[in-house]
């Protein structure tokens, strides 16, 4: 495949790719002082529309998107992005509205936000929801800020947050952003939180525990009620990281497990597209005693009209401008309507079945640290292959690329050496799963008899392995104009 | 792996070379091997003061960061400016050109708490 | 409709492979009193056709820019988006792709982000840019935290002429980490220079927006001098559309530039998703939050692109990360990249000149109608007029004539009752502007 030059490299002076109507009012040359004006125009490309479109289309062909093939990234829930959601989200009534336009002319938008909040509250077992956070990590920050504000309002002196050793990196990073010290609690040999170790770290300075259930090993923590009870007894709150909601949706709700605050990833569980890294949306749900701390505005209904309510005296304030990634909420709303209550439960059942099917058919060749039924994802390890011929998980991941399969999440969670975290989701057919199993089995075979083939992968991709050390040592972060 | 004689070693995998009242500090062969390709070193500034055990910098590879803990108390008098453009010196020559900082020691007696080359070799052998 | 391909037959085969007889047995480890009894209380599933009808109805009960004329700004603007932008962002290889953690199959995303970073640097005059952030407000908050960490004295000064929602987000972001925030007063529509000189202390970071919330242009050179004399950091919140016409912040000494990139190819979206951008000087590169793409080579000698400097980020640094931010707004950044490629050097300047010319035309026209400017300052595409009306009421009345006239400024600044803030982009025509003027006159 031909490399695609940078757009700056195909730029040619004088070319343009736009048209604007002629100015129908006088120019305003003297409107601003000369000293405030830019001297030269910014260095931007000069290309015709045909060249720009060709450039970006060629770039897209270098990508493996979900529509192109299997993407079993653990903890990312790469499920199919329904096309109808794109269609409806593109309606001008949703895309061409201004956040400050009169509420009386935004009733459709407000109603959607109000109902979406209700849907998510029902699904997660919470009492009140905000759609304001723009991503999962943003939701975590919002949720933890609510917890901090709650403790402050009670005069509780809290300095720590407990996080399991299997936690996603955003959890401790978020806690630090809220001014808390992070205390790690070890997992037991069933893969859940070690109750005895938890007891040791719990004291009256613990603000909260941050958990996801099923956890990052894809395992449901059977002690979850005991855990949330213990934390509550010690005066702390329980935060649920919703990244793994696809593993229990319709079967069990975080609100019923004892959680006080949850965040939900619409771009995971609720099928909105990942966009190459965003935009996502991370709504936060809370139990009623925390509802007063939600960011403003909340959307309320007075029986006749929907409106924005800014009157929350204990609010944490705002975590982003306006109301959140509304356009993403539109897609997720359509997805929920499309599935209905039975559909969402079916989503979970199929996601869990698919993951267990893969696990059963790979555990004889790959080391499975926790041999018990998983939920929507599971973790295996490349340990055996490494011990045999030094083939690492990174090599296995790169070899998968040769088969048109995006690798699973690798080297996470940190508690499993050479980890491969696999999440098929419910939208993959048995054929795709069987293909993946066959390919993984072939790679295990190659790791035994032809390790160099795996270690030197990928072979069939547009580019080979990148020199990441060079990129970090001598960062080149923009085009400098030289050839 | 053997470790150069004449240097002191800490549990955090740093080495100390005494130069009069000064200590030249770097990381060991074991540490640079565990890190992989070093891409960046965060070094202190001349004038900074530390107590033994303080976090005085860090060394980064592409996928990980290791904090550096100073083996002896003192005031930094020199830092290795070459690491800015060539952090790989830490990999290639950890005891020579890959040195990190030189401190004026508060208490030269502190080295008694550090390990000798053979003690460190045993220590590393245990942790493997 | 659900999107599950497997049939009962497929599932039967899988059950026997796994060694269970039903999906339910895979949930036996969930304690009984935690198991959901019954169904979720949600509307029954709709077919695709029913969804389209329902959504059309909801969408249809909103005002929007295809049927109303928008003169409203406050950080989000009705700018023209060239047709090609949506065609590119709608390519499935872009919008269904995940974060480019496997660079070999993500060069499309990675290279487009590298191009985005380059263009942001060109616009702002800075050395390095990140791959984008959630929005202008959170970008500003992250810039403030970044500055507080660099200076490690932690005091932030913010002008009251900065977008009120951005200031609120900054407050929420810093509440837990003990960063002191002090506001600098406004005077005549821009930062009060005397108050700034009084308040600024050694090592502070100052945040100023240009054009400010009111559309007024600040004396950025003077402010930059004051900040740097005090040994502080200068954070500028900029409107990227203005940077085709206004001096780049890098040229007058900005240390960090951030802001909202919605105007570059993203629709108004009723507030989101939008695009936060952040750029800085090379020496602060490693303190910059967010994802960053760098250029390198692969093992075959090809030029390629990767996420780099990842050790700053949460997945490695964890509690010592520069921020907890995980994602960027990749698709919105792609829209901006396509927009800037199509508009180019000439287009970005022309858009800026049109916004400037048209907003000044309307301001003059309204002045003639007896609605004078509230502030005697140069302005870019937004301005504030004085009226003796109930502005919110006036806006509702003008909406009946299919014009969204502006913002009631007293909503954010109680001292400015009777003031209406009006934005004019390149989309507005002379006729539309004359109609607004006539509409306002008619309300008297």
Q: What is the 3-class SS of chain A, one letter each residue? A: CCCCCCHHHCCCCCCCCCCCCCCCCCCCCCCCCHHHECCCCCCCCCCCHHHHHHHHHHHHCCECCCCCCCCCECCCCCCCCCHHHHHHHCCHHHHCCCCCCCHHHEHHHHHHHHHHHHHHHHHHCCCEEECCCCCHHHHHHHHHHHHHHHHHHCCCCCCEEEEECCCCCHHHHHHHHCCCEEEEECECCCCCECHHHHHHHCCCCEEEEEECCCCCCCCCCCCHHHHHHHHHHCCCEEEEEHHHHHHCCCCECHHHHCCCEEECCCCCCCCCCCCCCCCCCCCEEECHHHHHHCCCCEEEECCCCEEEECCCCCCCCCCCCCCCCHHHHHHHHHHHHHHHHHHHHHHHHHHHHHHHHHHHCCCCCCECCCCCCCCCCEEEECHHHHHHHCCCHHHHHHHHHCCCCCCCEECCCCCCCCEEEECCCCCCCHHHHHHHHHHHHHHHHHHHHCHHHHHCCCCCCCCCCECHHHHHHCCCCCCCCCC
Q: Which positions 186-215 of A are in contact with C (Cβ < 8 Å)? A: none
Distance between alpha carbon C370 and the CA centroid of its chain, in Å? 34
**Whole domain around residue C354: which residue ranges?**
69-81+345-442
CB atoms inside a 10 Å sphere around CB C386: 18
Please tell me the distance from the alpha carbon of residue A102 to that of residue A117, in angstroms, as a whole number.
21
Cα nearest neighbour of A28 on chain C? C357
Quick check: A315 and C10 in contact, CB under 8 A?
no
Q: Which residues of chain C have pLDDT under 70?
A: 154, 313-322, 324-327
Strands C155-159 vs C180-184: parallel, antiparallel or unpaired: parallel
Where exactly are the structural domains of chain A? Answer: 84-338, 348-468
Provide, as residue numbers in chain C, all residues whose Cβ is less than 8 Å from the Cβ of B63: 310-311, 316
Please tell me the distance from the alpha carbon of residue B124 to that of residue A238, in angstroms, as a whole number.
41
Q: Do C240 and C367 sit in the same domain of this protein?
A: no
Where exactly are the structural domains of chain B? Answer: 8-107
Q: C90 vs A267, A273, A358, C277, C406, CA distance in Å?
A: 16, 11, 32, 22, 32
Which candidate, A138, A144, A146, A175, places its Cα nearest to that of A160?
A175
Q: Is residue C27 part of a domain?
A: no
C93 and A63 within 8 Å at the Cβ level: the answer is yes
| Residue A360, C-beta contacts closer than 8 angstroms, at least 6 positions apart | C17, C18, C19
Please tell me the distance from the alpha carbon of residue A284 to that of residue C272, in angstroms, as a whole number.
16
Nearest to B40 among A411, A468, A473 (CB): A473
Burial degree of A482 (CB within 10 A; 0-12, 13-18, 19+): exposed
Cα nearest neighbour of C434 on chain A? A25
Question: Please, what CATH class does the domain formed by A348-468 belong to?
Answer: alpha beta
Domain boundary at C338, C360, C379, which?
C338
Per the listing, tokens 């075959």 go with C300
Work out the minimum CA distance from C310 to partner chain B, whole angstroms: 7
| pLDDT tens digits along B60-81 | 887 778 889 999 999 999 999 9
A320 and C135 within 8 Å at the Cβ level: the answer is yes
Quick check: A209 and A166 in contact, CB under 8 A?
no
What kind of architecture, by CATH, is found in domain A84-338?
A: 3-Layer(aba) Sandwich (3.40)
A469 and B62 within 8 Å at the Cβ level: the answer is yes
Quote the tokens at residue C135. Answer: 């929005």
pLDDT at residue C315, as a whole number: 65
Quote the tokens at residue C388. Answer: 């003796």
Q: Is residue C23 part of a domain?
A: no
Which candidate, A209, A284, A281, places its Cα nearest to that of A239?
A209
A473 and B87 within 8 Å at the Cβ level: the answer is yes
| pLDDT tens digits along A237-257 | 999 999 999 999 999 999 999
Q: What is the ipTM of this complex?
A: 0.96
Candidates A247, A320, A375, A482, partner chain C, best to mutate (most C CBs within 10 A): A320
B63 and C317 within 8 Å at the Cβ level: the answer is no
Domain boundary at C300, C319, C338, which?
C338
Q: Is residue C61 part of a domain?
A: no
pLDDT at residue B127, as a whole number: 58
10-residue block means of pLDDT along chain A (483 residues)? Answer: 88 95 93 93 95 96 79 91 96 98 98 98 98 95 96 96 88 88 92 95 96 94 96 97 96 97 97 92 98 98 97 97 97 98 97 97 96 96 94 95 92 90 96 96 96 94 90 92 53
Work out the minimum CA distance from B47 to partner chain C, whole angstroms: 17
Rounded to 5 degrees, φ, ψ at C115 are: -65, -40
pLDDT at residue C64, as a whole number: 97
Quick check: C88 and A53 in contact, CB under 8 A?
yes
Please tell me the distance from the alpha carbon of residue A210 to that of residue A254, in angstroms, as a whole number.
12
Per the listing, tokens 């709700």 go with A253
pLDDT at residue C1, as a whole number: 84
Please tell me the distance from the alpha carbon of residue C316 to that of residue C231, in angstroms, as a whole number.
32
Q: B109 vs A208, B9, B19, B21, B72, CA distance in Å?
A: 45, 14, 14, 10, 9
Please tell me the distance from the alpha carbon of residue C146 to that of residue C135, in angstroms, as a whole number.
16
Which candidate, A244, A223, A242, places its Cα nearest to that of A143?
A242
Provide, rounded to the nearest whole percent, the portion of chain A with pLDDT above 70: 99
Please tell me the distance from the alpha carbon of residue A133 to that of residue A283, in angstroms, as a whole number.
6
Q: Is residue C406 part of a domain?
A: yes
Work out the minimum CA distance from B66 to partner chain C, whole angstroms: 10
Q: Is residue C19 part of a domain?
A: no
A337 and C407 within 8 Å at the Cβ level: the answer is no
Please tell me the distance from the alpha carbon of residue B19 to that of residue B8, in angstroms, as a whole number.
12
Work out the minimum CA distance from C291 to partner chain B, whole angstroms: 14
Percent helix / strand / coil, chain B, rounded to 5? 25, 35, 40
Work out the minimum CA distance from B28 to partner chain C, whole angstroms: 21
Query: What contacts 24+ positions apart, CB below 8 Å, involve A303-307?
Result: A305/A103, A305/A104, A305/A107, A306/A103, A306/A107, A306/A110, A306/A111, A306/A113, A306/A114, A307/A103, A307/A110
CATH of domain B8-107: 2.40.50.100
pLDDT at residue C216, as a whole number: 98
Candidates A470, A473, A475, partner chain B, best to mutate (most B CBs within 10 A): A473
Please tell me the distance from the alpha carbon of residue C282 to that of residue C91, in angstroms, as a whole number.
34
Distance in Å from the first CA to the final CA of chain A: 21
Nearest to A137 among C27, C175, C326 (CB): C326
Bridge partners, residue A210, by sequence: A239
CA angle A127, A128, A132 (to 5 degrees): 155
Q: Which positions 380-439 of A are in contact with B (Cβ < 8 Å)? A: 411
CB atoms inside a 10 Å sphere around CB C411: 15
Which candidate, A103, A22, A24, A101, places its Cα nearest to that of C68?
A101
User: Before A279, cis peptide (omega within 30)?
Assistant: yes
Q: Which residues of chain B have pLDDT under 50?
A: none
**Four-point Cα dihedral A274, A276, A277, A283, nearest 10:** -20
Number of domains comprising chain C: 2
Quick check: A145 and A130 in contact, CB under 8 A?
no
Provide, as residue numbers in chain A, all residues whose Cβ is less than 8 Å from the Cβ of C323: 173, 177
Provide, as residue numbers in chain B, all residues whose Cβ is less than 8 Å from the Cβ of C296: none
**Four-point Cα dihedral C390, C393, C395, C396, nearest 10:** 180
Which candidate, C292, C161, C167, places its Cα nearest to that of C218?
C161
Cα nearest neighbour of B58 on chain C? C311
| Residue C406, C-beta contacts closer than 8 angstroms, at least 6 positions apart | C71, C72, C73, C391, C395, C420, C421, C422, C423
Q: Is residue C216 part of a domain?
A: yes
Strands C69-70 vs C403-404: parallel, antiparallel or unpaired: parallel
CATH of the domain at C405: 3.90.1150.10
Candidates C311, C312, C313, C318, partner chain B, best to mutate (most B CBs within 10 A): C311
Specify the DSSP element, H or E, that contains B56: strand B55-61
A·B CB contacts under 8 A: 18
Q: Which positions 224-243 of C are in contact with A (Cβ < 8 Å)? A: 243
CATH of the domain at C229: 3.40.640.10
Provide, as residue numbers in chain C, all residues whose Cβ is less than 8 Å from the Cβ of B65: 311, 316-317, 320
Provide, rounded to the nearest whole percent, the portion of chain A with pLDDT above 90: 87
A473 and B60 within 8 Å at the Cβ level: the answer is no
Which candidate, C291, C292, C296, C290, places its Cα nearest to that of C104?
C296
B122 in contact with C, Cβ within 8 Å: no
Domain boundary at C338, C366, C401, which?
C338
Chains that touch C (3 or more CB pairs under 8 A): A, B
């Amino acid at each position: 495949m031909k490399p695609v030059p940078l757009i700056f490299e195909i730029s040619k002076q004088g070319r343009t790719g736009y048209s604007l109507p002629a100015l129908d009012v006088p120019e305003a040359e003297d409107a601003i002082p000369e000293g405030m004006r830019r001297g030269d125009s910014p260095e931007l490309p000069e290309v015709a529309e045909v060249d720009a479109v060709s450039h970006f289309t060629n770039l897209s062909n270098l990508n493996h998107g979900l529509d192109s093939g299997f993407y079993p990234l653990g903890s990312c829930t790469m499920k199919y992005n329904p096309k109808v959601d794109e269609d409806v989200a593109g309606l001008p009534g949703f895309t061409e509205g201004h956040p400050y336009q009169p509420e009386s002319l935004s009733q459709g938008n407000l109603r959607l936000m109000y109902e979406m909040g209700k849907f998510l509250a029902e699904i997660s077992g919470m009492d009140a929801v905000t759609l304001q956070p723009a991503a999962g990590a943003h939701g975590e920050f919002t949720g933890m800020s609510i917890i901090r504000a709650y403790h402050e309002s009670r005069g509780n002196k809290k300095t720590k947050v407990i996080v399991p050793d299997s936690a996603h990196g955003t959890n401790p990073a978020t806690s630090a952003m809220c001014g808390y010290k992070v205390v790690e609690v070890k997992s037991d040999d069933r893969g859940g939180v070690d109750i005895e170790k938890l007891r040791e770290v719990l004291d009256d300075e613990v603000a909260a525990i941050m958990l996801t259930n099923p956890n990052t090993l894809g395992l449901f923590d059977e002690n979850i009620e005991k855990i949330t009870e213990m934390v509550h007894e010690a005066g702390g709150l329980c935060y649920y990281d919703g990244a793994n909601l696809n593993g229990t949706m319709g079967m069990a709700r975080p609100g019923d497990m004892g959680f006080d605050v949850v965040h939900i990833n619409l771009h995971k569980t609720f099928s909105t597209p990942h966009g190459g890294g965003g935009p996502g949306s991370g709504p936060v749900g809370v139990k009623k005693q925390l509802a007063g701390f939600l960011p403003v505005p909340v959307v309320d209904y007075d029986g006749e009209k929907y409106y924005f309510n800014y009157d929350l005296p204990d609010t944490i304030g705002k975590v982003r401008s306006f109301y959140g990634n509304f356009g993403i909420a539109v897609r997720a709303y359509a997805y929920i309507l499309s599935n209905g209550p039975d559909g969402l439960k079916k989503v979970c059942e199929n996601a869990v079945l698919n993951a267990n099917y893969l696990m059963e058919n790979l555990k004889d060749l790959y080391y499975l640290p926790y041999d018990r039924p998983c939920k929507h994802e599971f973790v295996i390890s490349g340990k055996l292959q490494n011990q045999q011929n030094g083939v690492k998980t990174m090599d296995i991941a790169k070899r998968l690329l040769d088969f048109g399969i995006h690798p699973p999440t690798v080297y996470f969670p940190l508690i499993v050496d050479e980890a491969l975290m696999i999440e098929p989701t419910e939208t993959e057919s048995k054929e795709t799963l069987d293909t993946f199993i066959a390919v993984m089995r072939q790679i295990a075979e190659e790791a035994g008899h032809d390790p160099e083939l795996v270690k030197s992968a990928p072979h069939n991709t547009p580019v080979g392995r990148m020199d990441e050390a060079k990129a970090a040592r001598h960062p080149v972060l923009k085009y400098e104009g030289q050839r | 792996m053997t470790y150069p004689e004449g240097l002191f070693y800490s549990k955090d995998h740093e080495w100390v070379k005494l130069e009069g009242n000064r200590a030249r500090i770097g990381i060991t062969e074991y540490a640079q091997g565990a890190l992989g390709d070093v891409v960046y070193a965060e070094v202190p500034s001349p004038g900074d003061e530390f107590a033994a055990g303080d976090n005085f910098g860090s060394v980064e590879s592409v996928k990980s960061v290791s904090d550096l803990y100073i083996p002896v108390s003192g005031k930094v008098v020199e830092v290795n400016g070459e690491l800015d453009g060539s952090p790989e010196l830490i990999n290639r020559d950890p005891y020579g050109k890959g040195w990190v900082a030189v401190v004026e020691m508060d208490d030269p007696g502190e080295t008694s708490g550090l390990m000798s080359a053979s003690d460190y070799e045993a220590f590393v052998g245990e942790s493997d | 409709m659900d999107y599950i391909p497997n049939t009962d037959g497929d599932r039967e085969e899988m059950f026997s492979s796994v060694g269970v007889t039903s999906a339910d047995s895979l949930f036996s480890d969930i304690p009984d009193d935690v198991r959901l009894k019954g169904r979720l209380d949600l509307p029954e599933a709709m077919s695709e056709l029913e969804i389209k009808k329902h959504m059309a109805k909801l969408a249809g009960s909103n005002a929007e820019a295809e049927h109303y004329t928008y003169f409203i700004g406050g950080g989000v603007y009705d700018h023209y988006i060239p047709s090609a932008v949506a065609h590119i962002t709608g390519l499935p290889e872009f919008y269904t792709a995940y974060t480019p953690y496997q660079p070999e199959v993500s060069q499309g995303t990675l290279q487009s982000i590298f191009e985005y970073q380059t263009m942001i640097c060109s616009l702002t005059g800075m050395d390095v840019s990140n791959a984008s952030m959630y929005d202008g407000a959170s970008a500003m908050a992250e810039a403030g935290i970044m500055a507080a960490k660099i200076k490690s004295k932690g005091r932030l000064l913010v002008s009251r002429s900065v977008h009120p929602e951005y200031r609120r987000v900054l407050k929420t972001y810093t509440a837990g980490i003990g960063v002191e925030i002090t506001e600098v007063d406004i005077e005549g529509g821009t930062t009060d220079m005397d108050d700034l000189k009084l308040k600024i202390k050694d090592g502070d970071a100052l945040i100023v927006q240009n054009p400010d919330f009111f559309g007024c242009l600040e004396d950025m050179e003077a402010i930059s001098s004051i900040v740097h004399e005090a040994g502080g950091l200068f954070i500028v919140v900029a409107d990227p559309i203005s940077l085709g016409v206004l001096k780049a912040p890098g040229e007058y000494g900005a240390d960090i530039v951030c802001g909202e990139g919605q105007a570059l190819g993203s629709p108004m979206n009723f507030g989101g998703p939008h695009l936060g951008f952040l750029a800085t000087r090379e020496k602060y590169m490693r303190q910059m939050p967010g994802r960053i793409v760098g250029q390198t080579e692969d093992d075959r000698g090809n030029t390629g692109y990767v996420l780099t400097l990842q050790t700053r980020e949460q997945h490695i640094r964890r509690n010592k990360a520069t921020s907890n931010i995980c994602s960027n707004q990749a698709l919105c950044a792609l829209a901006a990249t396509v927009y800037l490629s199509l508009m180019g050097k000439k287009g970005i300047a022309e858009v800026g000149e049109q916004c400037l010319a048209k907003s000044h035309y309307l301001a003059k026209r309204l002045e003639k109608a007896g609605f004078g400017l509230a502030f005697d300052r140069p302005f870019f595409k937004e301005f504030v007029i004085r009226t003796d009306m109930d502005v919110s009421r006036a806006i509702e009345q003008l909406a009946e004539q299919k014009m969204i006239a502006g913002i009631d400024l007293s909503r954010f600044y109680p001292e400015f009752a009777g003031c209406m803030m009006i934005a004019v982009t390149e989309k507005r025509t002379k006729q539309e502007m004359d109609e607004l003027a006539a509409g306002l006159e008619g309300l008297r």
